[in-house]
A and B are shown apart, each in its own frame.
Chain A
């Protein structure tokens, strides 16, 4: 077979290191630009929707036929629970990016998601407890739903401690990523605990398969508050990651200066 000189243009030069795939976003300059543009909108939407949703839940929603006004706690409890689970999902994805693609930004983001997720999980547990006392008659009960969410809280705490536990940050980040991925097992357990086992906690009112077991006048404020919390959670994580990137740049600059001064 003859080797013919090709008339096609020469193949493009290989992309610069880290210039393709997910590593496009690893470029801190790109991340800073992108997040700087998104952050004000995310924060604004979060504040607006949360204020609307919680205000609606507190003053606009009719009292429940059996729970009375205590049902209003739902508008804090359910969005907090959604963020506890959703935040962990993001943490797991970011950990996957850290382990497989060795994505430097992913490590920074993982360390910043942990504390926020832990706080929202604590909020979910706290409001659940406050809701449980007048309705169920107890602050706490070791049923499958409550216990699995408590485990989620400990997973977050473990991640927070682990990523900061080593002198060599890379080792902590690797260990934290592995812990976060192992903990993913807990997410379906939380979600389906109310269906798999007898629990004191009631099953989900809003399901993909059927009509929501919640009157629309109570559902819309919940969806608003959920959207608000999601935006707030995102804004907080993006802001913290921005700060972490800038702090790293600052450290680098200080290091260069001290070396130069020598």
Chain B
């Protein structure tokens, strides 16, 4: 394959950026979900 380094860097960026944002969003949803669940438990008990 010609221009392999250029191609690999491009694909790495193209996968890493959406993946990073996706994982960060997932983490954020889970974190806030956990905190809300904790408050729910405390108000019930």
Number of interface residues of B (CB under 8 A): 25
Main secondary structure of the interface of B (DSSP, over half): helix
* Separation of A69 and B14 alpha carbons in the complex (Å): 17
Closest CB-CB distance, A71 to chain B, in whole Å?
9
- The answer to whether B29 and A69 touch across the interface, beta carbons within 8 angstroms, is no
Q: Give which listed residue, A115, A134, A250, contacts B6 with CB less than 8 A.
A: A134
A133–B35 alpha-carbon span in the complex (Å): 48
What band does the interface of chain A fall in when counting residues whose beta carbon is under 8 Å from B?
A: 35 or more
Q: Interface SS of chain A: helix, strand, loop or mixed?
A: helix
- CA–CA, A233 to B17, complex, Å? 11
Look across to chain B and name the residue whose beta carbon is closest to the beta carbon of A43: B22
**Given A58, A73, A232, which contacts B22 in the complex, CB threshold below 8 Å?**
A232
Within the complex, the shortest CB–CB distance from B30 to chain A, in Å, comes to 9
Please provide the 5 A-B residue pairs with the shortest distance between their CB atoms, ordered closest to farther: A76-B14, A239-B25, A243-B28, A68-B2, A70-B3
Task: Point out residues on B near A: beta carbons under 8 Å.
Answer: 1-4, 6-7, 9-11, 13-15, 17-18, 21-22, 25-26, 28-29, 32-33, 35-36, 39
Residues of A within 8 A of B (CB): 43, 46, 50, 54, 58, 63, 68-70, 72-73, 75-77, 80, 115-116, 119-120, 122-123, 126-127, 130-131, 133-134, 229, 232-233, 235-236, 239-240, 242-243, 246-247, 249-250, 253-254, 257
